[in-house]
Structure 1
Amino acid sequence: METEPLALDVLYVLLLASVVLCGALGLALRRASRRHSVAAPTNPSHELVATEVDRTGRQHEMQLNAVLAERDQALAANQHLYSQLIELQGSMEARMEAEVDGRLAAALEARLEAAVEARVAAVLETKVETGVAARLAEASAKALARFAPRDTGQVQEPPGAPPQSPAVPHQLPLGRDCAADSTVDGADLGPLIVRAASVRGPRQREDGEHRRDAVMVRLVEEIPSPTLLSVVAAGAPRGLWSQSAAQRACRSLAAQLGHYGERLGGVLDRGRDPDPHTATPPAGHAAVGDEAEDGELGGLLRAAVQGVGHSIRLVARDEGGATGVGADAAKTEADVGVDVALTALLSELGDHQRRRHVAFGIGDTCVLRLRNGVWETVFAGVREARLPTGVGELRCARFETRPNDLVAVCTASVAELLLREDLGEWFALRWARGRPHLTEFFSDVNVRVRCTGGDRSVVCLWDFGEARRAPEPA
């Protein structure tokens, strides 16, 4: 069938319009359904879609949470590994530090030990060399002191002395009472060094006279505490038997003191003065018989000296031939010349910081003390008195010595030399060492220096307080 072209066009237009309208309606419906699904879905299909979306979202959320949890676990494990790494690094650093410190300490210790060993070896080598040099020097000094006439470190000759001292006698003495030209004695008694010498005087040598002095050092065994007795006796210058009288006086005094040993020991022990400022009385001022000073000690000493005087009278009787008594006996004593000046010293032995001494005597002999290079008189008797007749003039004194003091019990001629300013200093220097050889001490006493006195007799005591402080033997 045939259709009109216009109708076909209209039909096409209507069909096109219907298509457009249907499309517009469909678009409107789609927009409306979208708005309705957002606002309040009522379409089940839409709900199913929403549910599926929700389920899918939750799955994705769970997966995301699982991933996040794995990430957190990985971060925690990483943090733990990092902490372990830091700890391991610290431990390694500490071990390395300790190892380095240990190796450094070992190296330093090794270097220090090596340095110390080298230093010790050097010091020991130096000390050995110094010791060897000192020993060689000491040996040389000893050899010089032994074989040379004088020690090179001191004054060779005293002031005013000619060369080639000491003096040597050129002739033997004359007379029936002759004794040796010189005698020397001594002992090292711990802290107390004792030297004694008696030498014929220069004038007596020139005149051919014999020595009339005597010295003696003895231990008084009868006194309970160890006590040393030092005695110097000077006979009459021109006495015929004065040397025998001096010798007899020394020996008799030791025997007489022994008779009173127990009582003397008690008196001497009671004599210690607790006050060091009043321990040393004035020289020679403690008179025998003065009870205010020391009457009991003085009585014992006077009794002993009376026995000495009786013994000297026996010398006059035996040697001079006296048989009578009274005036005849006194005349014989004057003829044979047995007058003796006597000084003795009792000294306690042992270690003492303040050593006690008792000096007593009759005549012009005396006791000197050297302290700090200065000589001082600590005891002097009555110059005009003599034994055997002058027992009533006996004097005594207590005094003390400190370590490094020197005491000299001497006759007037030696005291004259020691108290001279120039010679006293020379003797002080010579005797400063404190332990001279016997021959050296004898040479010092026998030095060729003129003096107004006659024979020279002296006993010297060096006090060192304790035995360990005494000088070693040269």
Structure 2
Amino acid sequence: METLVYVVLSVSLAGNALLLWALRRRRSPVEVPGPERMVRVEVPGPERIVRVDVPGPERVVQVPGPERMVKVEVPGPERIVRVEVPGPERVVRAGPAPEFGAGPFPPAVPGGLALGRDGVHDTVVDGADLGSLHVRGGSLRGGRHRADQRFRRDAFLTRTLPEFPRPTLLSAVSAGNPLGLWSRTAAELLCESLGTQLDAFAKPLDTALTEGTEGESSDAVTDLLRTVLRGTASSLERLGHRHQADTRDVSADVLAVLSPLGETSVRRHLVLGTGAGVALLLRDGAWHPVLELAPDTAWPAGRALPAGCELRHQSVHTRPGDVLVLCTGATAELIRRPEVAKHLADAWAPGSPDLLGFLQQAGFRTAGADTDRTLVCLWEAV
């Protein structure tokens, strides 16, 4: 009998020890060794999400690249971070975090596919070399939407317009209402509808690109473009009727540029739009604003395009070596950060990358960059 009790107690103690060992492996403390407030966590399993127990409000950190490493910032005075890794391994490496710009910047791999009826690809890239004008466009789902398994709200378009007397490229970026039920579809439809409406006024707009937009010509172009935008707004309203959705659910803004193709030493572009988009010019390593729309975009009911955002248009000339960049408002905020501006200027000044290279450059990782990222870049080849 005593032997049986001894065996039972031994098994119980062994079980408790095993359970304690498993729990400690599941949530083990990591000491931050130096004055740095960062630790690196290696995730060896197939999961792309680690849950980090820190004093701050953030509870989830996404593993951004194929290296299986994630940087965890310790926000408070505590020197201990408890890291819960879903895989069976418990490998943790502590050390200082690399500077921005160190190493490759591949787009993050999502932890899950987007849920919802308006779902779309996580990441899209496109482009072409059209003679001396090289175009690259990309749209990436933001970290916040990835963590919540929400779909990307932005869209972009690069296409030639067949009705123009000479070959002309339309490039456009559009951002949907962040809370709109069908805003992703609205953003894509707005870009497509803009191309259709511009084709309807191809000849007078081609004349404006050729002769400039000064004086009476500028007023005529403004009237034409307002008519174009009214047509695109009608398309969004029809989308709302089709889905029996409120106008706010199908709201989006747009920024676009018309670029005549062909070999030339100086190219005249026509930039136009309404909303929060921004057009920038990278010349000789420095960034210059070209056209900035309303910084604060309102999305009231009853209007498919943002209220309080007047149509604006601007001619811009590019010469060999220049890069004309169209981006959504959220993307522009990132590019204006000094470290990001320098990183992109260094990457883009030598010339246009291939499509995968452009996607990698546009997918840089930096703190606080959790919104959708959409931009189109036009290089004037040297």
Question: Does TM, normalized by the shorter one, top 0.5?
Answer: yes
Count of matched residue positions in the alignment of Structure 1 and Structure 2 = 282
Q: Are 1:218 and 1:229, in contact at CA under 8 Å, matched by a contact in 2?
A: yes
Could you say which residue in structure 2 is the equivalent of 1:338? 250
Shift of 1:254: 0.4
Partners of 1:426 and 1:248 in 2: CA distance? 32
Q: Are 1:402 and 1:463, in contact at CA under 8 Å, matched by a contact in 2?
A: yes
Percent identity over the alignment is 39
Partners of 2:353 and 2:99 in 1: CA distance? 17
Secondary structure in 2 matching 1:364: coil
Please show how residues 166-181 of structure 1 align to structure 2 within 5 Å.
166-181=107-122
Could you say which residue in structure 2 is the equivalent of 1:255? 196
The superposition leaves residues 239-262 of structure 1 with CA deviations (integer Å, 9 ceiling, x where unpaired) of: 110000001001100000011112
Q: Are 2:129 and 2:135, in contact at CA under 8 Å, matched by a contact in 1?
A: yes
Secondary structure in 2 matching 1:393: coil
Could you say which residue in structure 2 is the equivalent of 1:303? 227
Shift of 1:272: 7.5
Q: Are 2:253 and 2:306, in contact at CA under 8 Å, matched by a contact in 1?
A: no
| Higher strand fraction (1 or 2) | 2
Partners of 1:231 and 1:344 in 2: CA distance? 4
From the superposition, tell whether residues 385 and 204 of structure 1 become closer, same or farther in structure 2 (CA, over 3 Å): same
Could you say which residue in structure 2 is the equivalent of 1:216? 157
Partner residue of 1:372 out of 264, 284, 292: 284
The residue type equivalent to 2:282 in the other structure is: L
From the superposition, tell whether residues 392 and 450 of structure 1 become closer, same or farther in structure 2 (CA, over 3 Å): closer
Partners of 1:263 and 1:297 in 2: CA distance? 8
Q: Are 1:306 and 1:391, in contact at CA under 8 Å, matched by a contact in 2?
A: no
Could you say which residue in structure 2 is the equivalent of 1:56? none
Please show how residues 61-460 of structure 1 align to structure 2 within 5 Å.
159=100, 165-271=106-212, 294-319=218-243, 321=244, 332-334=246-248, 337-383=249-295, 384=297, 387-388=304-305, 390=307, 393-451=310-368, 454-460=371-377
Partners of 2:110 and 2:342 in 1: CA distance? 26
Partners of 1:391 and 1:313 in 2: CA distance? 18
Partners of 2:187 and 2:286 in 1: CA distance? 30
Shift of 1:413: 2.3
Q: Are 1:302 and 1:391, in contact at CA under 8 Å, matched by a contact in 2?
A: no
Please show how residues 17-32 of structure 1 align to structure 2 within 5 Å.
none
Could you say which residue in structure 1 is the equivalent of 2:74? none
Unaligned runs of 5+ in 1: 1-147, 150-156, 274-290, 323-331, 470-474
Partners of 2:361 and 2:105 in 1: CA distance? 12
Partners of 2:126 and 2:338 in 1: CA distance? 27
Secondary structure in 1 matching 2:114: coil
Shift of 1:391: 8.8
What is the root-mean-square deviation of aligned Cα atoms in Å?
2.4
The residue type equivalent to 2:156 in the other structure is: V
The superposition leaves residues 130-179 of structure 1 with CA deviations (integer Å, 9 ceiling, x where unpaired) of: xxxxxxxxxxxxxxxxxx99xxxxxxx87177977431111111110000
Q: Are 1:305 and 1:391, in contact at CA under 8 Å, matched by a contact in 2?
A: no
Partners of 1:162 and 1:209 in 2: CA distance? 29
The residue type equivalent to 2:311 in the other structure is: L
From the superposition, tell whether residues 163 and 259 of structure 1 become closer, same or farther in structure 2 (CA, over 3 Å): closer
Secondary structure in 1 matching 2:357: helix
Partners of 2:106 and 2:335 in 1: CA distance? 17
Q: TM-score, normalised by structure 2?
A: 0.69
From the superposition, tell whether residues 158 and 372 of structure 1 become closer, same or farther in structure 2 (CA, over 3 Å): farther
The residue type equivalent to 1:419 in the other structure is: R
The residue type equivalent to 1:461 in the other structure is: L
Partners of 1:378 and 1:164 in 2: CA distance? 28
Unaligned runs of 5+ in 2: 1-65, 68-97
Partners of 1:353 and 1:271 in 2: CA distance? 16
Q: Are 2:156 and 2:172, in contact at CA under 8 Å, matched by a contact in 1?
A: yes
